[in-house]
Each structure stands twice: as structure tokens, then as C-alpha cells.
Amino acid sequence: MKNSEAILVTPKQFEIQECPVPEPKDHEILMKVEYVGMCGSDIHGFEFGPFIPPKDPNQKIGLGHEVAGEVVKVGSKVTRFKAGDKVLIEPGVPDDKCEYCRTGRYNICPDVDFMATQPNYKGALTQYMTHPEEWTYHIPEGMTTMEAALVEPAAVGMHAAILGGAQLGKSIVILGGGTIGLMVLQACKSLGATDITVVDIMQNRLDLALKLGASRVINGKEQDTVALLRSPEYFGDHGCELVFEAAGSVFTAQQAVQIVARGGKIMMVGTQSKPVPIDFLKINREVMIQTSFRYCNNFPQTIEAIASGKFNVKDMVTNIYDYKDVQQAFMDAIDPEKKASMVKGVIKVAD
């Protein structure tokens, strides 16, 4: 077997380099990578470099953490997997020692080894990779490896929806119809919610939101979102009970404050890279603001939701690239014109 990895040598420049096929440790599996999803954090890292720059200037930078493939070898103490099994992985490996891990909140472990970031910057854009058995999952019958690679972003949506308390009877607005916003939409639906409005400025995303089950959509470029949502035709003076900010925008974060109901909840799912001024006088009627970070114990539920057809990740994929074209894939993702039509891109590493 031969192996290679796509290394970010400088911002906006990948280089596919030969590397050894790793040997699985006692509790690890060796996986032949088939599909890797292009996450927004990967695209940001490609364009600008890692969020947290490595201390060592010679550190190799890999990208990609949404991944699935086939087991080709297992460590001596692995019991749940064998060669030939189709699998997906949870890309963050916590230290299992800190108070957060001990209390079941491993997603906020400060020493988690998360793929494509510090301390190891190990990316999934490679032909073969190892991963701990504990953080590896079987792909159910009927689920493709491409769908399985998208369990990771789907779990982000599931975690946020559960934290937000999405359920039947709740009025819900999702600000941002990109990958994560659409994952939140489907997660809310899988939990029983039926009254879901999605807001975005790109019509192709809004059309897809309707296809995936949104009750209604609003094009924020063409309509005054706050005025419309506060109108008698929508939620009136009462406001919306549950608002998800999924765009990572200061503007939409401030919109959330203007449309949330008294006693309602704002879930901050998008990554805010700049400080957000908040007028707390507008929400001092027991409104809750909560951030959401990745996922925690959500993979089994998310896998079942996709396998059972409650969660449609396949139709979110708008662009599929071969591994050899990884440079072009990420250039398209940052191109002002091409990225407008891209909802979710994936890299096909192998069949």
C-alpha cells in the first residue's frame, strides 16, 4: 500500500506529499479513506492558515475532519472492528482525565486532540489514517460512505437542536442556510419540530431548505427579516421562541436579539470571529443566550437519523471532487462566484 496526504504548505496552497502508511496501535483501526467533507473551518484554514497557528514552523498542516472509509487493519486489542468494515469516525479525542470529561462534557475538554487543529494538525485528506476504536462507528446498511462522512456536521446540528430544546410546538427561526443551518433544520425536524423558518440571502440555499422541510423561508436580501418576523403574519409582538444563529455573522446575531420572544432562547451555533454588541435591554425578559460547541454523545443518534431517512445529507452535497483535485476544490470554495452555488463540497479520496 502507498499513502499520501494533502498538506497546506502555505495559505491557499495544498501539496500532495507521499507519506508512510501508519501502523495501528493496540486500540486503533487503520482506515482507507473514501470521502472527506469540506467544513467551513477547513475552508477558512485553507484561505488564511489555521485558527491557532502551530508553535513549530516546521509542523505539517493537514485539513479535513469529516471522514468515512473502510477498515483495512486493526490493532491487537481492537474487538469491535475487522478488515472490510465500513466506518466513520468522531474526529475529536479528549484526554478522558479532566473534569469536563469526567462529567460527560468531553466536547469542551481543553486538551482534546481534534483533527486538523492543534496540537497535531492531523488531517483526513489522506489515503490511509489511524484512529482510536473508541471513537469509531460502524456505517449501517443502506448508508453510503459519502453520507457517513457527513455525520460529523450533522451531529453539530443535532447537538445544537437538543441544547436549544427543539420540539413539537416550538416556533423556530434559523438565521443562516448554509451547511450548519440546514443541519440544524433537519435536526429540529427529527426532534418533532414543525414550525421552522430559515433565513438566508442566497436563493439556492433557501430552495434547498424548503426541500429539506422548512415551513417557510425568507430572503434577507429582498425582505426586512426583522419586520417580517415581527409582523402579524408571522410571530407579531410575541416574537419567536427559539432562534438559531448559524451564519457566524454580527448582523444575524443582532437580528436574533430583535426577533426572540420574551422567555425565549437564542442558540449561537455559528462561529463569531468578531465581538458582537448586544442591547441587553431588548432581551431582559428572561431570554437565554447559549453557545453550542461541536457535539457530545450525539453520533449514535445522528447516525440513526440519517440511516432511517429522517435526515437527508445526500441532497446537501452540491460539489464532489477527486482527491487529486483537492487544490481546485478549495479554490472553488473561496472563489466569490463559485462558492455562491456550493452548499456542501466533498472530496472523493477512493471508492
pLDDT reported for residue 107: 97
Residue 117 has pLDDT above 90, yes or no: yes
pLDDT reported for residue 349: 98
- Confidence band (pLDDT; 50, 70, 90) for 94? very high
Among 48-52, 102-106, 141-145, 329-333, which stretch is predicted with the lowest mean pLDDT? 48-52
At 199-238, the pLDDT tens digits run: 999 999 999 999 999 999 999 999 999 999 999 999 999 9
119 preceded by cis ω (within 30°)? Answer: yes
CB atoms within 10 A of CB 192: 11
Nearest partner of 26 among 77, 67, 100, judged by Cα? 77
Q: Average pLDDT, stretch 271-287?
A: 92
- Confidence band (pLDDT; 50, 70, 90) for 351? confident
Nearest partner of 265 among 288, 244, 239, 284, judged by Cα? 288
- Which segments of 191-335 are extended strands (E)? 195-200, 216-219, 240-245, 260-268, 288-291, 317-322
**pLDDT averaged over every residue in the chain:** 96
**DSSP conformation letters of 14-77:** EEEEEEPPPPP-TTEEEEEEEEEE--HHHHHHHHH--SS--SSTT---B---EEEEEEEEE-TT
Gap between the Cα atoms of 151 and 300, Å rounded: 9
pLDDT reported for residue 211: 97
At 183-199, the pLDDT tens digits run: 999 999 999 999 999 99
71-110 core/surface letters (b: 16 or more CB in 10 A; e: else): bbbbbeebeebeeebbbbbbbbbbeeebebbeeeebbebe
Name the residue with cell 444563529.
245
114-152 core/surface letters (b: 16 or more CB in 10 A; e: else): bbbbeeebbbbbbbbbbbbbeebbebeeebbbbbbbbbb
Q: Average pLDDT, stretch 263-281?
A: 94
At 76-92, the pLDDT tens digits run: 999 999 999 999 999 99
